[in-house]
Structure 1
């Protein structure tokens, strides 16, 4: 397996787009409120992005003068001309309500009555166990370990990348997901077959940790609540990323150069290439591994409530979608062709 420790030459720095304070006054105010509320960076990116698109759509009308009728007409525009899904439309609504109510301090009024976006409920793409093995065989060692853990524990991509050293607990045989979707923590299973390679990986990380401490690098990023309570946690072993990047990165909010976790695009690209190399016919992404985890558990007889907890679904109806991709969803049905 590739070594994690950085090369001897000067460490490269990934130039992530700097998290500026916003351009126009409304965006600067939005950034200030978002960061005061300690919302995630991706939420900030999404909300600011919708704010900019809304501002362009408004044309000459200032964002500060926009109200519920403007929001309603913009959502209608997204559905009719943009052909967006209902979920995308809801995200836009949430962002614009936040902009008007929380940022500008105005009542947006009635935003209902717009045409809803297209409702989609797609059957998830699921690999067979043989196809999972073929995919893993085509991945480089470090990406293979990540993909296997994602499949073996049913993790979302960002849940995998945000794992800390303390979150992979070998004695208990569990993986702790902190601040998953909806801001909830949960526990999933640590695959027994990955115990040895994950422990070896962790030991190699000690070399990188030692290098960073000798270089007196700033600590890793911490949730604001943790940073306020334990200011030195960022340089403590337990809080280091379990899958750190080889290169340093610029923190998009503070501008601090520090060690970040591996970028999501790196694993996404690796999985796509591996799927092509394995000659898989489906469109495969890292999230396909989570779908496969759930479906294979249900096919093996696992209780759907247990699978729901492992996936972190708030509603069991979300988990039920995986019953539709089993060979015998609901009652066992045999094709009439097989009786000829």
Structure 2
């Protein structure tokens, strides 16, 4: 029995995972390719388009949606990945779109007292996550993607995986929140076991690991530490 050809976004997903890009990069690329192909050009096939259509899309983002320069660059890299890595079309023509202006504003950095005051206005899991980010230097996505196996209470350290640049790194686990984090994980484990009994609680595994280890997605050590949905 012949298999139906994969849809375009499924092909994009396969190409991204073949290159072992991070899960965050995968979500970003698929988001912008969907915006480009499905929403902006109403499912017109990318093979029938080229530099002119890409320029119009990027110009629309800068002029009508007033996106930041970094956001416009994300969209450009995503669409170029579609053509070069999925459709195998190398766009030799320079994409000459209206470029979004780079921000000239310096970021606002909170003082130590301001950070503590902000934390005091939070509670529960949200407060614990912010404490963890502040105490470890983890990025937001690194904190949200943290797995149980990444936390080493014995050595007071955390391993951040699937980071920017797709390289793992180790950072310290502040002793001030270690006990609070243990209590949080105990409650998460109870929910994890309850979900398993109902047939839920599987987690995302990158790089075809789900096919190689089909039961790993149910393993407690692979469970995500923080979930807000």
Q: Which has the larger radius of gyration?
A: 1
- Does residue 103 of structure 2 align to residue 120 of structure 1? yes
- Report the alpha carbon displacement of residue 218 of structure 1 after superposing the two structures with TM: 5.3
- Does residue 12 of structure 2 align to residue 34 of structure 1? yes
Q: Which residue of 2 aligns with 1:171?
A: 154
Can you give the 5+ residue segments of structure 1 that lack an aligned partner in the other structure?
1-24, 244-260, 264-340
Q: Which residue of 2 aligns with 1:72?
A: 55
Say which of 31, 36, 41 aligns to 1:50: 36
Say which of 229, 233, 247 aligns to 2:212: 229
Contact 1:85–1:119 at 8 Å: present in 2 too?
yes
Q: Which deviations, in whole Å up to 9, do the C-alpha atoms of 1:65-109 show, x marking residues without a partner?
A: 211233234434443454433212212211222333334443333
- Does residue 194 of structure 2 align to residue 205 of structure 1? no
- Does residue 140 of structure 2 align to residue 157 of structure 1? yes
Contact 2:192–2:201 at 8 Å: present in 1 too?
no
Query: Structure 1: which 4+ aligned runs deviate by more than 6 Å?
Result: none
Q: Which residue of 1 aligns with 2:203?
A: 220
Contact 1:51–1:99 at 8 Å: present in 2 too?
no
Structure 2 length normalisation: TM-score?
A: 0.81
Contact 1:220–1:235 at 8 Å: present in 2 too?
yes
Asked which structure has the greater RCO (Cα within 8 Å, sep 6+), the reply is 1
Can you give the 5+ residue segments of structure 2 that lack an aligned partner in the other structure?
none
Mapping for residues 1-340 of structure 1, pairs under 5 Å: 29-37=7-15, 38=17, 40=23, 42-43=27-28, 44-55=30-41, 63-217=46-200, 219-243=202-226, 261-263=227-229
- Report the alpha carbon displacement of residue 166 of structure 1 after superposing the two structures with TM: 0.8
Name which of structure 1's ranges 233-242 and 212-221 shifts more when overlaid on structure 2.
Answer: 212-221
SS in 2 for 1:182: coil
> Structure 1 CA distance, aligned partners of 2:165 and 2:33?
16
The alignment's C-alpha RMSD in Å is 2.7
SS in 2 for 1:117: coil
Cα 1:114–1:209 change in 2 (3 A) is closer
